[in-house]
Amino acid sequence: MRKTLVAAVVAAAALVGPAAAHAAPGFSGSCHFSGPITPMPPITLLPRFGAHFSYRGTGSCSTGQPITVRFNNVATLFDTCELGPDFNLHGAMTIGTRSFRITVNLARLAVAGPFLLNAAGGGQALGLARFTTSSPQQCVSTGVASASLSAVFHTLSPLR
């Protein structure tokens, strides 16, 4: 019985060992991306609760791989032209051929803010996001209905 158990453990280790050795490593490096962001409702000077947004940005990474970052109809606590406490935002990211489910925590003050990116499979990145709009005066009237977001991040630990 003991020999059978030992043989089974050795066989399982032989099967798992090569698979683990060939497992894809996580992504390490830096990336930059940009694209349009659509806040709903438009962002004004006063907070509008129930705010949400959609975003799709593309760019490249230090490894030469392309990156795409997407957030679809993601709810935020509130957004104003001066402040955007955007926490626990769930989205998707593709680097090269690898896909990641991500969560971003962003603390925006006016047009820029630091963010922490967590990959669902493990790993973190720290970055900076910048927002631009062609009509900032809309903050005091109808609100900013579209803007551009550009960001850069550097991994703290490999994204998986």
Would you say residue 150 lies in a domain? yes
Instruction: Please give the Cα distance from 13 to 128 (Å, whole number).
Output: 43
pLDDT of residue 24: 60
Would you say residue 5 lies in a domain? no
pLDDT of residue 14: 43
pLDDT of residue 136: 77
pTM for the whole structure: 0.81
Point out the least confidently predicted range of 7-11, 44-48, 64-68, 134-138.
Answer: 7-11
Whether the per-residue pLDDT at 12 is higher than 90: the answer is no
User: Can you read off the two tokens belonging to residue 152?
Assistant: 């850069």
User: Can you read off the two tokens belonging to residue 142?
Assistant: 């109808």
Higher pLDDT, 14 or 153: 153
**Distances from the Cα of 42 to the Cα of 61, 76, 78, 115, 130, angstroms:** 31, 13, 11, 22, 18
Q: What angle do CA 150, 154, 156 make, to 5 degrees?
A: 140
Would you say residue 153 lies in a domain? yes
Would you say residue 14 lies in a domain? no
First-to-last alpha carbon distance for the chain, in angstroms, is 40
Residue written as token pair 């406490």: 85
Would you say residue 41 lies in a domain? yes
135: containing domain: 26-157
Q: How many domains does the chain have?
A: 1
Instruction: Please give the Cα distance from 102 to 95 (Å, whole number).
Output: 12
Q: What is the maximum alpha-carbon separation in the chain?
A: 80
User: Can you read off the two tokens belonging to residue 33?
Assistant: 């991306």
pLDDT of residue 22: 45
Would you say residue 13 lies in a domain? no
Would you say residue 16 lies in a domain? no
Q: What is the overall mean pLDDT for the chain?
A: 86
Would you say residue 21 lies in a domain? no
What percent of the chain clears pLDDT 90, i.e. is strictly above it? 61
- According to DSSP, the residues that pair with 152 across neighbouring strands are 32, 128
What are the pLDDT digits (tens) for 62-117? 999 999 999 999 998 888 888 888 899 999 999 999 999 999 999 998 889 999 99
What mean pLDDT comes out for the span 44-71?
94
